[in-house]
Amino acid sequence: MRKVTTLVAILAATLILSGCQLKFPLSKQTNPPATQITTPETEVGTPKKSAHYESNTPAHGTILAGVPINVVINFNFDLASPSKIEIKKDGVDFGVGETAIDPNKLTMRRKMDPAAPEGIYKVAYNACWPDGTCHDGSFEFAINRAKAGTFVDMTGQNEVSINLKNFMFEPKNVRIKKGTKVTWTNSDSTAHYVNTDSHPAHTYILDMNSQALEESQTYSYTFETAGIYPYHCSAHASTMAGNILVE
Ligand SMILES: [Cu+2]
């Protein structure tokens, strides 16, 4: 409970510091990524990492402009039943359906209720192995729809273009409507990628991963499910990142 209270305090302080109730100051920073809370990790609660844990999406401490389509956790060991993910806010689980283990057995995921309210979510998971042992872990993220106010509104278009230029996605954060085809074009002489989070697992949405894009090459993906899609370039993962909010 203390961790949650602390995170609420940090959110409130962020609002005050920004001088505007509708904008987070971190939205205009390029490093760290726009969705990352900039306070030390210990202040938002330390994630508990289970044995064989590798990464998760949403990342711990992230403030999202929309509801994640699913919560995804990656491991370096084969998962087995009854591995389970809970996505709780105020004791209510906003996960939808059963936790699923991907065919490669290294990733488990659970869909999230698209109508989930704003606030702080605690993900508690139990990762189980073929020998029947299980280990628990946890992390936190937040949903604040006001963050969408800083996204470029492209909801009036059926097709949207994003430029990969100067090691950035331009525009970095966009709002689109469901069914929109997004085309990324590399305008740098360096190869870039379009990779769904996390890095380097790229598992948030498995089919949204491009090959290497050389200069002037393009990659397209059509977004059919509403929600927030954090993504990055795997060659420049620490600095080159963006978000697609599908409404
Ligand atoms: Cu890149």
Q: How remote is the CA of residue 243 from the centroid of ligand 1, in Å?
A: 15
Tell me if the pTM is above 0.85: no
Mean pLDDT, the chain, whole residue set: 87
Better pLDDT: 89 or 11: 89
Q: How remote is the CA of residue 242 from the centroid of ligand 1, in Å?
A: 12
Q: How remote is the CA of residue 173 from the centroid of ligand 1, in Å?
A: 16
SS3 83: strand
Q: Average pLDDT for residues 191-206, to the nearest whole number?
A: 97
Q: Domain boundaries in the chain?
A: 2-147, 151-246
Is residue 157 very low, low, confident or very high in pLDDT (cuts 50, 70, 90)?
very high
Q: How remote is the CA of residue 36 from the centroid of ligand 1, in Å?
A: 19
What is the distance, to the nearest Å, from the Cα of residue 116 to the centroid of all Cα atoms in its chain? 15
Q: How remote is the CA of residue 233 from the centroid of ligand 1, in Å?
A: 5
Whether 39 has a pLDDT exceeding 80, the answer reads no
Whether 49 has a pLDDT exceeding 70, the answer reads yes
Q: Average pLDDT for residues 4-11, to the nearest whole number?
A: 44
Residues in the chain: 247
- Residue 232 to residue 198: CA distance in whole angstroms: 8
97 is written with which tokens? 């359906």
CATH of 2-147, one of 2.60.40.10, 1.10.3720.10, 3.60.21.10, 2.60.40.1220: 2.60.40.1220
Question: Residue 15 belongs to what H/E stretch?
Answer: helix 2-18
One-letter amino acid identity for 156? Answer: G
CATH for the stretch 151-246? 2.60.40.420
- Residue 120 to residue 142: CA distance in whole angstroms: 4
Tens digit of each residue's pLDDT (9 = 90 or more) over 64-123: 999 999 999 999 999 999 999 999 999 999 999 999 999 999 999 999 999 999 999 999
Q: How remote is the CA of residue 28 from the centroid of ligand 1, in Å?
A: 19
Q: How remote is the CA of residue 31 from the centroid of ligand 1, in Å?
A: 14
Which residues share a beta bridge with 245? 175, 228
- Residue 226 to residue 103: CA distance in whole angstroms: 24
Q: How remote is the CA of residue 26 from the centroid of ligand 1, in Å?
A: 21
Whether 4 has a pLDDT exceeding 60, the answer reads no
Please, is 74 exposed, middle or buried when counting C-beta atoms within 10 Å of its C-beta (0-12, 13-18, 19+)?
buried
